[in-house]
Amino acid sequence: MPFVTVGAENGTDIDIYYEDHGSGPAVVLIHGYPLNGDSWERQERELLASGHRVIRYDRRGFGRSSKPTTGYDYDTFTADLATLLDHVGVDDVALVGFSMGTGEVTRYVARHAGGRVRCAVLIGAIPPFLLKTDDNPDGVDGQVFDGIKAAILEDRYAYFKAFLDDFYNVDELAPERIGEQAWQASFQVASGASPHATYACVDTWLTDFRDDVAKLDVPTLAIHGTADRILPFEATAQRLPALVDGLELVSVEGGPHNVGWTHPEVVNPALLSFLAAHAAVPAGRAG
């Protein structure tokens, strides 16, 4: 299996698992919490069929990647991404993030891109700044996140049950848009994540991306469910058009957090159309 080493903890390598398929303009898919790169299956199939090279990976602490107890912050996550891009040798890439993955996309473009990124897609966006503060009154109260961490410590499996129910708006969308087996598959992936990462990542959700958002200088698309219970539309994506010049916003009416699974008939055409409008000359594989 393909891995790239991004660091070490107590003499043991920290390895990131990735997959690299197809040929053509490169698209990098960055997954959300608490899933892994496999969660992109409904998008990867369409991207490959439309002639893209698709690279996806598991964030540290999740999936088949190493599960260290260090590096759970967006500077490190973005450094991991930069190491992967160097390793696979892609330039002129489209970065597509979901949920937590939108943080890597935003920070990478703002601080690391150096002309390497041709466009960015934020699905279920976490920027610009989720935490409610005096200068961010539209954010979410900090006690909500304290409660999440307490729930994880008490029983992370019970927490995942509640989280995934809201991740898919099961009470409204099951079984038509989220079947029991698909929900169970997500639960199994979440259960296999590092307990440390499960807890530590909650603090990363409070990262202030406002300075990063101001530096998004590539074509950017945001896709977000209007009924998102994890990252409320009004506190996140709805604010982005006023902060990013030319940003395109696709609102998925009644969509939950993981609209990529529940509403592919909206997400995939919007994604493919945007990528086609910002296409790149196909690059060969490195090595």
User: Catalytic: 273?
Assistant: no
CA–CA gap between residue 240 and residue 3 (Å, rounded)? 34
CA–CA gap between residue 225 and residue 258 (Å, rounded)? 8
CA–CA gap between residue 189 and residue 208 (Å, rounded)? 28
* Phi, psi at 119, each rounded to 5°: -165, 165
For residue 233, give the 3-state DSSP assignment. helix
* Tokens 């260090």 sit on residue: 70
CA–CA gap between residue 268 and residue 276 (Å, rounded)? 12
Which one of 87, 257, 263, 278 is the catalytic residue? 257
| Paired strand residues for 136 | 133
User: Catalytic: 224?
Assistant: no
Say how many residues make up the chain.
287
The tally of CA atoms less than 13 A away on the side-chain side of residue 82 is 17
In whole angstroms, what separates CA 213 from the centre of its chain?
A: 15
Which one of 99, 186, 212, 224 is the catalytic residue? 99
| Paired strand residues for 13 | 8
Burial class (CB in 10 A: 0-12, 13-18, 19+), 23: middle
User: Catalytic: 228?
Assistant: yes
The tally of CA atoms less than 13 A away on the side-chain side of residue 188 is 8
Catalytically active residues, by annotation: 99, 228, 257
